[in-house]
Chains A and B, each alone.
Chain A
Amino acid sequence: MLTAFVWLSDWLIPIIILGIVIYGLLRNVNVYEAFIEGAADGLKVVFDILPTLIGLMMAVGMLRSSGALGGISNLIKPLISWSNFPSEVIPIALMRTFSSSAATGLILDAFKTYGPDSFIGRLVSVMFGCTETIFYTLSVYFMCIKIKDSRYTLAGAILATLVGIITSYYLTLWIFGI
């Protein structure tokens, strides 16, 4: 089972690239030109988010060095001491539901502090991949059609996020260990 996971992680990106390039050739797309065009846009996207990244990494860096970030996870620690879930990840998980860019700032801080190959680093990586911002997405989508009563959408969104976080925790524990 675990070998299958390793295989999937190693092979998926090359398979997607292979599939898309062959499909493009069959469809008479100038694949090289399309690639260069998309890559140019990709660079633009990255440099467009640079100011946001500077602002948030600076703010998170200040929170970290003031000791506030460590203090917050110490405050949370007794609340979740019944589980082995790392308290350092709770602020990241909470932030993820509000703002994707602020969560990115916290995740990069976790990578810097604990390393991307630590348990915390792997857990936040998996968590980030399987969750979305809740409140922002809901307000954008419902506001555009002026819906006031969103019924069970919020409950469903929170449930999906919780399931994603819990699954991430057990998968990371099972596949990589502490």
Chain B
Amino acid sequence: MLNYLWSFMIIFSIFISGFTGGMRDLTTSALTASQNAVELCIKMGGIVALWMGVMRIAEKAHLIDVLARKMTPLLDFLFPDVPREHAARKYIATNLIANFLGLGWAATPPGLKAMLELQKLNLDKKRATHAMCMFLIINISSVQLISINMISYRTSYGSANPTEIIAPCIIATCFSTVAAVTFAKLMYRRKK
């Protein structure tokens, strides 16, 4: 995917610049961009390290497991087809909590395990179940509380108030997640 996208961006810009005569500018901006990337990494490194340090404390205190266990009523509502004692529940909960805390790397492995477990409950192995659809739609609607990467980019580019986007992000996330859940629930009712 990125293979073609990246090649296309490079080839396309060089061709256009060839016609418009902006070759020198093109070279300069390619060179500056690579330097900017390194500067950005050094600047955002501090913020990401700070946040991951705090989140490591949460992980060591088993906060993810504790929060995941508190999700039973919510999971009853979202995944009525998945029995309470089923292993899929635990993985779904861990995935959602990790996503909520912005721990993307900690969210994917339990997410994939949740799909494997949901597949065991599936009668038609080629067709997605309602629980799978619900799980993935919620995942894509994004449930992240704070996007620390975005805050670090904003800081690096000299924003006067990099964290001012936290509240609107949370509200927009709520809207998209509510829309996602409503849609999935409606489809569930209709096709039942």
Contacts and interface: CB of A to CB of B under 8 A. Distances in A.
Contacts, number: 343
Contacts of A58: 30, 33-34, 37
B56 A160 contact: no
A157 B26 contact: no
Interface residues of B, number: 97
Contacts of B1: 98-99, 136
Interface residues of A, number: 103
B72 interface: no
Contact of B136 (A39, A45, A125, A141): A141
Contacts of B172: 126-127, 129-130, 164, 167-168, 171
Given A98-B1, A152-B133, A57 B57 contact: no
B49 A42 contact: yes
Interface string A87-113: 000000000001101101001100110
B29 A47 contact: no
Contact of A129 (B40, B137, B147): B147
A167 B140 contact: no
Interface in A126-178: 126-134, 136-138, 140-142, 144-153, 155-157, 159-161, 163-164, 167-168, 171-172, 175-176
A126 B169 contact: yes
Contacts of B16: 66-68
Interface string B31-68: 01110111011001100111111111111111100000
Contacts of B54: 16-17, 20-21, 35, 38
Nearest to A131: B142
Contacts of B38: 50, 54
Contacts of A176: 164
B139 A132 contact: yes
A56 B163 CA distance: 25
Contacts of B160: 117
- Which of B12, B36, B145 has most A Cβ within 10 Å? B36
Nearest to A170: B172
Nearest to A7: B167
A101 B63 CA distance: 29
B115 A145 contact: yes
Given A61-B30, A116-B154, 5 more contacts: A6-B164, A27-B60, A58-B33, A116-B162, A157-B140
Interface of B: 1-2, 5-6, 9-10, 12-14, 16-17, 20, 22, 25-26, 28-30, 32-34, 36-38, 40-41, 44-45, 48-63, 105, 108, 111-112, 115-116, 118-119, 125-128, 132-133, 136-137, 139-142, 144-147, 149-150, 153-154, 157-173, 175-177, 179-180, 183-184, 187
16 contacts: A12-B145, A12-B163, A12-B166, A37-B56, A38-B49, A47-B41, A66-B22, A99-B5, A111-B154, A121-B154, A129-B165, A129-B169, A137-B140, A153-B137, A160-B137, A160-B177
The 4 tightest CB contacts between A and B, nearest first, are A38-B56, A61-B33, A42-B52, A129-B169
